[in-house]
Chain A
Amino acid sequence: MRILFVADQYDYSAYALEEVAELARNTFADVTMLGVLPRDMARSLSPGRPCDIALDHPMMEALEQYRESFLSRWKEGDSPYERKEPRYEWFFLGEGVCEQLLICRGSLKDLKVRLRFGQPVSEVLSAVEEEGASLVVLGCTRGDRCLWRDDPTFPQKLVQEVPCSILLVKEAHPISEIHACMDESNITQDSLEMVNQIAVLHDAKLNLVALTKGGGIKAEVYPWFDEVYAYYRKKGLDVTSQFKEIDEFERFIREEVQHGLLALWMGKKSLLSRLFHRDSVEHFIGTCRTSVLVLR
């Protein structure tokens, strides 16, 4: 598993770091911490010169703190990210220049801290592609909003665009139950496994929710729902199932999903996406008071 933690310098990102660290502690995932700054800030950079001299932005200090906080979770000798003996490696500095730099990498797994410059959503999408990320994690404001302070709609825009699963951490509290809502037959193996890992990690109960329209569920979806239920039962998870009318969905997530994690399977054929306008995912994420995992 490769996790891309998209962060800024505010409290909600620090909360999300807790979830990233817990995931990484158990999965030994490769982790990249990413901050995105405006493209024009890159103009002050020169190839081969340290960034922190040219840039004076609180994001850099925040990323350094996240790295130190993340690494401090392991006892000495236990961490897969513990630095190996440093060695010289060649690095391309741009403009036809390479330089040999002394590099200290993780002993078993990589922890990278990166800054990108440009439009935030497109930079994160590029990072997902380049890193081969299975999961994007980011924090956002708690309660019935889901915002970033300097770019309020960024989390919701990112959820719409990102091709892999994405976890929006609203508050730092234990996840004891996962409400996984499905409405379509097009469920990826990756998304099934992601729910499994998160349920195991938190020792959480899994509540499978099949969304219905007019009291019925699509004929082709029914066998899938049974199969998904059987899949998790076979995995030994504590799993229950229920049906919910799509018209009642908003009330369900507002009133019944008060604790735990809301997981939404949101593929291209999603009933949720088709029945509601394009902003449906954003809307549900805003409605839900707890953290949300959008599965793809």
Chain B
Amino acid sequence: METTERKTTILLLDDEPIVCKRLKPYLEKNGYEVETFTDSSKAMGRIEERDFDIVITDLKMEGIDGMTFLTRVKEKSPSTQVIVITGFATMETAKQSFQKGVFDFVAKPFKLSEIHEIVRRAEKKLRQEAASM
């Protein structure tokens, strides 16, 4: 991660605890501020309280599904870069995600380095958008 005035903030939502357990320390080690949620309604509450630079979300979850969640994220904070991670990838969900304005769509399984690379590209986009304002 390049040096910035503050850490890039990431909200990670996946109803499988192991995904959060695996990604959180990895991203924190790489200099990010990470909040994790396994309950989509709690994550929804959190995004109403504050904006995040990057949101990484699963799609298929009990309660509020990932598509509803990411739609709300983009409504509330259009500049937030959303990365979808899913174990149920289909062409329809991929296309729908991009139509909703997600930054990237990643099918599980993935290597941690793959997510890190995408997060770095999302950061670059955030910087470019901030510079053009």
Contacts and interface: CB of A to CB of B under 8 A. Distances in A.
Contacts of B19: 189
A206 to B, nearest CB: 13
A46 to B, nearest CB: 32
22 contacts: A1-B89, A1-B107, A2-B111, A26-B89, A27-B94, A28-B89, A28-B106, A80-B94, A108-B104, A134-B109, A189-B19, A191-B109, A194-B109, A197-B89, A197-B107, A200-B87, A200-B88, A200-B89, A200-B90, A235-B60, A235-B87, A235-B88
A196 interface: yes
Contact of B109 (A25, A26, A108, A193): A193
A29 interface: yes
A132 B22 contact: no
| Best-buried of B19, B22, B89, B104 by chain A (most CB within 10 Å) | B89
B95 interface: yes
A25 B98 CA distance: 14
Contact of A134 (B87, B95, B111): B111
Nearest to B84: A28
Contacts of A76: none
A26 B94 contact: yes
Interface string B105-119: 111111101100000
B20 to A, nearest CB: 12
A28 B107 contact: yes
Contacts of B105: 28, 108
A1 B106 contact: yes
Contacts of A194: 109
Q: Which 3 residue pairs are nearest across A and B when measured between Cβ atoms? A: A27-B107, A190-B109, A193-B108
A1 B87 contact: no
A40 interface: no
Interface in B45-81: 60
A90 to B, nearest CB: 17
Contact of B114 (A80, A132, A201, A235): A132
Contacts of A197: 87-89, 107-109
